[in-house]
A and B are shown apart, each in its own frame.
Chain A
Amino acid sequence: MNAVLENLRSRRMPNIATQGAIRIDDVVKIYDPDGAAVMAVDHCSLDIPAGEICMIVGPSGCGKTTLLNAIAGFHSITSGSISMDGQLLCGPGKPKAEPGSDRIVVFQNGALFPWKTNLENVAFGPLMQGKLGKKEIYEKARSMMADAGLSGTEDNFPGEVSSGLRRRVEIVRALMNDPKVLLFDEPYRALDSLTKSVMHEALLEIYYKNKVTIFFITHDLEEAIFLGHRLVIMTSRPCKPKKILEVDIPHPRDYSVLTSPRFRELMEETSAVVHEEAKKSFAAGEKEG
């Protein structure tokens, strides 16, 4: 295990996160609507070392969001355990984790508060936690927004800026809290492919500057290979890892990677597996989500 970790660490550029390792151990989640038990997650185990970008790929409705919700603390798990840096988040005797600012979710449809300006959104976390003085918080928020190329949009409401900018504001809002883990729930799903590619590079840039572990759910294989250190391809419901793949394209990456031969090879290697699961999921008629 340690050798694998060392190997991963040595590839990680340019900072090495020391916190935010997630261990998912034999997690089962059974939903029980109207007595008809539905297994969403089936004995799933996964180790994510600190600082890794781990891409969870699977067909819509396979239960990957359930896993993310369990880590974030929105849902309970039926059995198994999830821990972060050796600390139990949820497990026997504690079915539901506490949501906290060490693990922040970036939501599928975006969850910037539309009634707060972008700056107020970014400052929200520290303000609620009462960690710093108001003035310092707003100063920090301004400078972080400036770093992310968001100067000039501070006093706009989220509804007034483009969806790409909104996503960036949301990520900055998360980073304000120095999270150990960022949990992405298909955040770029609704974006067009051009905006998406811009967002990917922006995300990597942010990742290179901050020490975080990234747990990223997607069904877009290209996105997964471009961003991730590792791909975890999930089976259709119930969800568990079917194939784990190391992406041996060195970081930092930029968009030229997409046309490299190695990228094509990896696409070929994985698309058959993903397609097969998608077909199963389609046949089962799973609802999206």
Chain B
Amino acid sequence: MDQISALLKRAMPFQTVPEDLLREIVKIAKWRSYSRGDLIYNVDDEAEDIHIVSSGSVSHALRPEAGSPELLERVMRPGDVFGWAAVFEGQRRRLAKTISLERSEVLQINGEQLMRLIRRMPAAGDVIMSRLATMITKEFAATPAVAARVPHLQVATEPAPQQGSGVASGWALTTFRIAQWLKSPSPYLMVIGFGVFLGLWYLTVEVWQLPRFADMPGLTVVVKEMFSEQPTYGLSVYTPEYYQHIWASIRRVAIAFLLATGLGVPLGLFMGWSKTFREYVFPVFETLRPIPILAWVPLAILMFSGSETPVIFLTFLASFFATALNTMLGVESIDESYSRAAYCLGASKWQVFREVIVPGAMPYIFTGLQISIGVAWFSLVAGEMVSGEFGLGYVINTSYTMVRYPTIVIGMVTLGAVGYVTSALVRMVGDQMMQWRVRELALGGR
């Protein structure tokens, strides 16, 4: 009994099944074992049972559509579900040929009986079915037409998850991925990593008071100061100044980043696309690029009045170079056969630029933008330390001169957090704009 429910909980479609339904399913499941080379079922056999591998392995050759001579082969391992044609609407015929590759234990659930159970509890049942459909499209690479044959129970309270292109909306997949992530060691390793880092900080500064660390602000001091309603040095998460500084920095980075993207992407595209343009511009570009941002400070102050524009200019500069260079490399990375194919298909030069060059360079452009937002923060702080009246860099610099050491660390921690969020935002926008890439990578770059 326990073994069956444990196995079901490992199988993707059944993972979120409530206990009562699970118990019912356990009752109708039965074990079967196969020896090496046994045919479990063949294409067009009557589909009665849905199968879950418990041990061993099974070869699964799927015919993606009727009459298609091609077979998609996969090896099913413990926890994998196959034989889902047993719950299809309409004719239940096998779409695949499955052969046991070694001695394998397989759990079988009769499709008819399973559907009867599920109809009794449509809310939970529909989750199973939509997860099954997701699994079929994502893991078996079957056509959406196949997945669409998984029965969909009409549950009034829930929106249909299988609408649109038929490629599963991904909600089931997202929760599945989060569950998988929590099961994997990575979140715990992350916690341990942070723990070791913070622990070392605490020990070296406050407990052991090692020579070089003795004057540093300690972990507990910083945390107390940061979350104190009456901070000793005047800055904590409860003071409005804290948010003014954050806002000032974010505003500068946002303006500089948008300007850098707006100018850097087109410049990079044209440098990559037109050899002549590149010969004019690239040498100048490459001469200016290695000049450190700090070296620009005097000129920036001379050129722009006030304290705001020089800082924005400095931030812009670093971002601009990173974006333009990566965009240019992106254009160069595009396989020539794409533009050749486009010319063959009757595209004009401008159409090739719009339809091939721009989308083809997109992955590199977004890599560039991630670097760009990083260096934007980097040069922002440099700029704010030199000129400026607000901002996190300003906080760090003035806290140093005014001997408010814990506040320095508050500024640094805040910079790290805000910087992390902004680059995550850039990554999310990139994923949104390049669905093709996300889906390709999800399949392991097949």
Contact = CB atoms under 8 A, between A and B. Distances in A.
Interface stretch (A17-25, A109-117, A234-242, A281-289): A109-117
Given A99-B343, A125-B345, A160 B141 contact: yes
Contacts of B160: none
B327 to A, nearest CB: 16
Contacts of B338: 111, 113
Contacts of A174: 344-345
B340 A105 contact: yes
A162 B355 CA distance: 24
Interface centre among A156, A162, A177 (most CB of B within 10 A): A156
B346 A177 contact: yes
A263 interface: no
Contact of A111 (B65, B144, B341, B436): B341
B337 A114 contact: no
B341 A107 contact: yes
A121 B434 CA distance: 16
B339 to A, nearest CB: 9
B344 A114 contact: no
Contacts of B337: 107-109, 111
B305 interface: no
A274 interface: no
Nearest to B363: A115
B440 A160 contact: yes
B348 interface: yes
Interface string A113-152: 1111100000011001100000000000000000001011
Report, as a range, how many residues of chain B touch the other chain. Answer: 35 or more
Contact of B145 (A152, A164, A195): A152
Given A113-B359, A156-B167, A173 B145 contact: no
B430 to A, nearest CB: 13
B355 A113 contact: yes
B74 interface: no
B440 A155 contact: no
A149 B67 CA distance: 8
B446 A152 contact: no
A210 interface: no
Contacts of A153: 143
Nearest to A103: B344
Nearest to B358: A115
A162 B70 contact: yes
Nearest to B72: A162
Contacts of A161: 141
Contacts of B425: none
Contacts of B143: 151-153, 156
B343 A115 contact: no
A72 B70 contact: no
A195 B443 contact: no
A257 interface: no
Given A111-B338, A155-B165, A198-B69, A101 B141 contact: no
A111 B339 CA distance: 9
B434 A159 contact: no
Interface in B32-52: none
A74 interface: yes
Contacts of A113: 338, 341-342, 355-356, 359-360
A103 B343 CA distance: 11
A271 to B, nearest CB: 28
A165 B167 CA distance: 18
Interface in B65-101: 65, 67-70, 72
A99 B340 contact: yes
Nearest to A128: B347
A115 B70 contact: no
Interface string A172-188: 01100100000000000
Interface in A223-248: none
A190 to B, nearest CB: 13
Contact of A101 (B144, B344, B355): B344
A159 B348 CA distance: 26
A159 B440 CA distance: 5
A105 B346 contact: no
B380 to A, nearest CB: 33
A124 B342 contact: yes
A157 interface: yes
B56 interface: no
Contacts of B146: 152
A73 B341 CA distance: 11
Nearest to A202: B69
A174 B355 CA distance: 17
Given A157-B436, A160-B141, A115 B346 contact: no
9 contacts: A72-B340, A104-B345, A105-B340, A111-B337, A114-B437, A117-B436, A124-B342, A161-B141, A177-B346
Closest 3 CB pairs of A and B: A159-B440, A152-B143, A125-B345
Given A113-B359, A164-B70, 8 more contacts: A107-B337, A125-B345, A128-B346, A128-B348, A129-B346, A151-B145, A174-B344, A198-B69
Interface of B: 65, 67-70, 72, 141, 143-146, 165-167, 335, 337-338, 340-348, 351, 355-356, 359-360, 362, 434-437, 439-440, 443, 445-446
Interface of A: 72-74, 99-101, 103-105, 107-109, 111, 113-117, 124-125, 128-129, 149, 151-153, 155-157, 159-162, 164-165, 173-174, 177, 195, 198, 201
